[in-house]
Structure 1
């Protein structure tokens, strides 16, 4: 499987990462350690050796199952995990304070049965803790050998730049990854965060690359109805029914042309976008895992990329519609071709 670098050659990662939210029973459907080990076997055979989890998935049980599934082969794998959402009832069991981060990482290492975490990410921005306290603590965890590289998840542009500036200004460990929502029906990432990632050397790890399953394929009616299903508040919304239908139609056309599935086409499109290092795939079966792996090792051609670009192009927000009129000094403008109505 193709590999890409996080940041400036900070960490080599496969273009697909297996998400492990379903590795343990809880809010998500889940299995047992034997099933998880089987999924890991399939991944390693395909060259996919990175596994993403979080301390809040199934109350920490997903980390425990992952640790057991990787037993005896930890040195062949990369572990990415996240911290910062509420993990217990106490006042210090949430956020990015020094006290919480130190205690949380020790708990992660124990559950994961490892001495170090390859990529530790802040799960959400903490506006109540000084960013200097957070970044200094993270730097200390790297210096202690408990963490190799640092990232964040679901940050706004100014939040990400504030954290990165604090680290760079004081000589602390910089951020090299941003775990983001990005899909053919959710291209907000391209406006602020993609140019920032290019400028600061911060790579994207994409969660929900199939738009919460809405781009899995099947009949247009069935796929289009998925966003009507009850979903948790953190699920990516669909802002525009017409956009969803345009994208589904384009996916169907390209899938027929290429002999691939709609899901494979949607994943491959993302792998050709700037800053994207790895797609985090969540699966519920071996067949789904193997199918997603087949989204790699090939590339959509220019015509198919344009078809998908045009079908998924959103409206251009301010100030970008204004900046587009003066492109000479803005080489990092977003990578969206505006629809005809906005040209």
Structure 2
């Protein structure tokens, strides 16, 4: 009996199609959608609910997608002519949004073949939705004013699923936030060796940081419970503040995955981090240990596509500890596969002691539009007045009372020069700091911030153990003059950047120290 009824409904719908109204007849006298337009949408709604066979369903979905695209285009014209549409029209737009979601879902469930006509129709619909959002002045509408968020996500998801490689994320896609130039760093949560504090004191320090304007925090999937700490804190904030508190975390691949690199595999890895943060990842940074295994290229393609399909899951993608050669490789591969670079950053070590990025990396970033997010810019606290006129510590002695960061960065000092050379550099930094009325650490951070292609510096935060909020704020109260930079560079880099070149030769390019030291370029 059910089959008879379904067949009857299908026949009636197909025998009595409701025509698409003329463009000039889309709106009624009340400012909302006209009766012919509403009847057309209702007919399609019934059609997609009537369990049509795959060939018929695919045919009608294509027709409906084309019609909905025309409706969106017409609505964009109305919106541009009248920035305050009638309330009844706003309600109708949400109906159209739901209709698009339903139609595209029906399409996805049929698992259609890669028909070029269908691909063009989906792209046209996405373009029309993006144009509606953008408006006449070229700027994207506020998210709260955009009625087709669901439609856009659903259509992009369908396009990516049916036509892998077709999504081209917009490099200029606007975001409702802006990354600050100093990030809080939570590496210190990976070990109690930096000191311990309770959840209450950790949260109090995070509140102080946010109140001071330090609204972005860098962490990783292997920094202890950093993602959980930050996610819990962020979700306790009011919605208006929470939306401006930004999370940068990482997906670090230290050994080759045993599973095939698929969209589903990559999506699940993103969801793991989203779950621990309890919300959106504003910047997901990708690290891949073994350059000889090229799977990282397709992983990055999938990650970039996900930012277009699931912007509320992950907003932007960056690299972590990629060297110049492989940053170029990745960018060129992404351009070939997606039409744009799609990345925003590379996180690397950069300081007055480790100036290797000046050798190649800053130019690579300038070419591809990436920003450097730098760590180690204070060398674990060695670049502070505390170490001025102090003897070289025995890093293995308990009496030295060094943190894991300081043990790590002591090696960088020795690679850069002698302890006396280091004292000479601290002396120059101290003199310049006194001239500006700031701390030595402020000058060290400022030097990095004023280097080409640097977007932000990560300053480690020992939550609830120590606080440097006020001192970090002073970084923005001054700029280093050319004379200041020349005096620092004379010691830090030496003539013709001799120290930079020597470090590059002994340690290798950025991140090489984590992969066994200097390496030869790939032969392929």
| C-alpha deviation, 1:177, in angstroms | 0.4
1:204 is aligned to: 372
| Correspondences of 1:316-335 after superposition (within 5 Å) | 317=501
| C-alpha deviation, 1:31, in angstroms | 2.9
Q: How big is each residue's C-alpha offset from its partner over 1:69-96, in whole Å with a ceiling of 9 and x where there is no partner?
A: 112333121110011245xxx9748998
| C-alpha deviation, 1:231, in angstroms | 4.8
In structure 1, C-alpha distance between the alignment counterparts of 2:259 and 2:428, rounded to whole Å: 42
Q: Which moved more, 1:97-106 or 1:75-84?
A: 97-106
2:470 is aligned to: 290
Change (3 A) 1:65 1:289: same
- Partner secondary structure for residue 212 of structure 1: helix
1:252 is aligned to: 430
Establish whether residue 181 from structure 1 lines up as the match of residue 349 from structure 2.
yes
Change (3 A) 1:91 1:183: closer
Establish whether residue 162 from structure 1 lines up as the match of residue 292 from structure 2.
no
| C-alpha deviation, 1:226, in angstroms | 8.0
| Correspondences of 1:1-343 after superposition (within 5 Å) | 12-23=178-189, 26=192, 28-58=194-224, 61-73=225-237, 74-86=242-254, 92=257, 101-114=266-279, 116-127=280-291, 128-142=293-307, 143-145=309-311, 146-171=313-338, 174-222=342-390, 224-225=392-393, 231=404, 235=409, 237-238=412-413, 239=415, 240-241=417-418, 242-284=420-462, 285-313=465-493, 314-315=497-498, 317=501
Q: How big is each residue's C-alpha offset from its partner over 1:139-167, in whole Å with a ceiling of 9 and x where there is no partner?
A: 23212332111101111111111111111
Higher strand share: 1
Change (3 A) 1:230 1:271: closer
Q: How big is each residue's C-alpha offset from its partner over 1:289-341, in whole Å with a ceiling of 9 and x where there is no partner?
A: 321222223212222221112111141639x9xxxxxxxxxxxxxxxxxxxxx
- Partner secondary structure for residue 386 of structure 2: coil
- Residue correspondences, number: 307
Change (3 A) 1:50 1:94: farther
Q: Which moved more, 1:99-108 or 1:22-31?
A: 22-31
| C-alpha deviation, 1:251, in angstroms | 1.0
Change (3 A) 1:67 1:307: same
Change (3 A) 1:83 1:13: same
Higher helix share: 2
In structure 1, C-alpha distance between the alignment counterparts of 2:318 and 2:256, rounded to whole Å: 24
Output the TM-score relative to the length of structure 2: 0.53
| C-alpha deviation, 1:103, in angstroms | 3.2
Output the TM-score relative to the length of structure 1: 0.79
Change (3 A) 1:257 1:163: same
- Partner secondary structure for residue 294 of structure 1: helix
In structure 1, C-alpha distance between the alignment counterparts of 2:335 and 2:220, rounded to whole Å: 26
Q: How big is each residue's C-alpha offset from its partner over 1:204-233, in whole Å with a ceiling of 9 and x where there is no partner?
A: 111111122210222424375487868579
Counterpart contact for 2:252–2:286, Cα < 8 Å: yes
In structure 2, C-alpha distance between the alignment counterparts of 1:49 and 1:230, rounded to whole Å: 25
From the CA coordinates, give the structure whose radius of gyration is larger: 2
Counterpart contact for 1:247–1:312, Cα < 8 Å: yes
In structure 2, C-alpha distance between the alignment counterparts of 1:286 and 1:41, rounded to whole Å: 14
Q: Which moved more, 1:170-179 or 1:153-162?
A: 170-179
**5+ long unaligned stretches in structure 1:** 1-6, 321-343
Q: How big is each residue's C-alpha offset from its partner over 1:112-140, in whole Å with a ceiling of 9 and x where there is no partner?
A: 111x2111111344422424321222123
- Partner secondary structure for residue 501 of structure 2: coil
In structure 1, C-alpha distance between the alignment counterparts of 2:480 and 2:201, rounded to whole Å: 33
In structure 2, C-alpha distance between the alignment counterparts of 1:26 and 1:8, rounded to whole Å: 41
Counterpart contact for 2:324–2:364, Cα < 8 Å: yes
In structure 1, C-alpha distance between the alignment counterparts of 2:187 and 2:258, rounded to whole Å: 20
Counterpart contact for 1:10–1:176, Cα < 8 Å: no
In structure 1, C-alpha distance between the alignment counterparts of 2:423 and 2:262, rounded to whole Å: 44
In structure 2, C-alpha distance between the alignment counterparts of 1:95 and 1:67, rounded to whole Å: 30
Counterpart contact for 2:212–2:469, Cα < 8 Å: no
